[in-house]
Structure 1
Amino acid sequence: MTVPLQVAVEREILHRALDLERQRFYETAIRDPLTGLFSRYYMQEALGRLMDLHDRDPHAAVGVIMADIDHFKHVNDRYGHAQGDEVLRAVARCLMSDMRPSDLPVRLGGEEFAIFVVGSSLETLRVMAERLRGAVAELDFGAPMTQSITASFGVAVRSPGESLARVLERADDALYRAKEGGRNRVCAAGGPTASLTPD
Structure 2
Amino acid sequence: MKILSFRQFIKGLGRNKGYMLSAALLFIVGIGAGALWADDLQRLLLSQLDGLKAVSQSLEESDNVELSFFTFIFLNNAIKAVIVMLLGAFFGLAPLGFLLLNGMVLGFVVEVSHRQGQDLAVLIFKGLLPHGIIELPAIVIVCGYGLKFGGLVVSSLFNLGEGKRERLSARWEQGMKEMLGAAVWIVILLFVAAIIESTLTYHLLR
- Report if TM-score (shorter chain) is over 0.5: no
TM category (shorter chain) comes to under 0.3
Compute the TM-score of the two structures, normalised by the length of structure 1.
Answer: 0.25
The structure showing larger relative contact order (alpha-carbon pairs under 8 Å, at least 6 residues apart) is: 2
Greater helix percent: which structure?
Answer: 2
Relative to total residues, which structure has the larger strand share, 1 or 2?
1
Q: Which protein shows a greater Rg? A: 1
Query: So what's the TM-score if we normalise by structure 2?
Result: 0.24
